[in-house]
Amino acid sequence: MRGQGPKVPRLRGARGSHGDAREEAPSLPSRGPWGPAAASRALCPLPCSASGSRGGGRRGPGGGASGSPRPRAAGRKADAETRRGAMAEVLRTLAGKPKCYTPLPMILFLIMLVLVLFGPCSFTGNSCAHAAGRTMHFLEEGTNRQSSFCVLSLGTLPSCSYGVLSPRSLMPGSLERGFCMAVTEPDRLQRVSLPRMVYAQPKVLTPCRKDVLVVTPWLAPIVWEGTFNIDILNEQFRLQNTTIGLTVFAIKKYVAFLKLFLETAEKHFMVGHRVHYYVFTDQPAAVPRVTLGTGRQLSVLEVRAYKRWQDVSMRRMEMISDFCERRFLSEVDYLVCVDVDMEFRDHVGVEILTPLFGTLHPGFYGSSREAFTYERRPQSQAYIPKDEGDFYYMGAFFGGSVQEVQRLTRACHQAMMVDQANGIEAVWHDESHLNKYLLRHKPTKVLSPEYLWDQQLLGWPTVLRKLRFTAVPKNHQAVRNP
């Protein structure tokens, strides 16, 4: 362990001429930080005289100092005591606190004052390291390095973590020129400082929506049109340089929906942000070529096709979980998982991003929990009794951070494998397991039915100010069957 000297073995002495067994004192190395010279320096700050060295001078033939012979046993005993005392003093010296010289805090204070008054608006990345390095070099000149680091770590490094603002950066003129910064704090959460923005003031006594629930009992927002300012959110996520992954499964006949899906996504999904489409398909050659905007890319991931559409639906949980580990964790920040037989008709942006979100099913958003089509058989891992349940979430639109999506999909897949081993299949397959997971692990945002709607079946009620992501009219039986 650092801060401790080398462990010296306890040695048994050889038997002497009189047959007595003696214990030799542990010997110190002649050089290095633990030797007698270091002990002498620790005990005496000034150059020590010859009498302060080991044995008091050149040793004579009798084992003592020259001119003063003494018995061998007494000499060894004195040597052992001297060594023990030297070792103890070295340990006490090295275990002490590093010295902090009085002028250093004043020097540091003056440097920080100059930076605050005349320096740049913030320290981030390499500039922070460069400034800290120059300050370290300045403080090290003529002083002990440990002492310098003691002062530097207390003064300079926190300023790099939180950023240093000069008064000029807070002037209106600077804000109008677009002053902004993104700072990484010690907890590794990124905070952003927005530029000057002009928008309507939120009114505490005037709710944004009076006709719908806008927050859950666990204080998660329910996202409806009129509950958010997209300009503020776009700026926040832009400053964080966020990348969003969008997964979609185009298996068998469902590949026919891919062209419309991608074309409408380019118009409405996360416009202005970096997007990575992940297309899972058994027909890579059938993936259409769609012109992608700047900062947007598409990856085709070949997977096998299953005979039953239910198996395709359930196995996507396993595939998403696997690819979270293999690719998604290193390539994107958030993951949005949707069905392919849909089209984007209006804005779907960063307002949905959060660690974990689910989307209200368009057929049950006004129903009681007793009417939800949860799995009601206790034998299934997806079982939810009739006296439980918050909302009914649809499996066609969920997501969150890659880490949370990985946890969700892994848990759902494992639960489905348990059900399969027990000879039971949940009533609505992966969607039933999704609802069980979101009941036990509350989402941090809930998307309103604006984000998942079927106008052909449900029309367009007035409570929905926008239809953002809607089902494409189709014959389900024709598409699902081979």
Helix (H) or strand (E) holding 310: helix 309-323
* SS3 at position 244: strand
The residues facing 192 across adjacent strands are 182
Q: How far apart are CA 449 and CA 396, in angstroms?
A: 12
Could you say which of 375, 404, 431, 450 is catalytic?
A: 431
The phi and psi torsions of 5 (rounded to 5 degrees) equal: -75, 170
Structure token digits, residue 18 = 């009189």
DSSP-derived secondary structure letter, 49: P
Helix (H) or strand (E) holding 128: helix 125-140
Which residue shows structure tokens 């040695």? 11
Instruction: Measure CA 382 to chain center.
Output: 30
Structure token digits, residue 289 = 């070529």
Q: How far apart are CA 134 and CA 130, in angstroms?
A: 6
Which residue, among 368, 366, 362, 356, has the nearest Cα to 446 in the 3D structure? 356
The residues facing 239 across adjacent strands are none
Is 140 among the residues known to form the active site? Answer: no
Q: How far apart are CA 355 and CA 216, in angstroms?
A: 16
Distances in whole angstroms, Cα of residue 1 to Cα of each of 29, 38, 150, 356, 407 = 19, 20, 21, 43, 38
Task: Find out whether 276 and 246 touch, Cβ atoms under 8 Å.
Answer: yes
Find the helix packing angle between 402-421 and 309-323, rounded to 10°.
140
Q: How far apart are CA 394 and CA 398, in angstroms?
A: 8
Task: Find out whether 5 and 87 touch, Cβ atoms under 8 Å.
Answer: yes
- Length of the chain counted residue by residue: 482
Catalytic center residues: 431
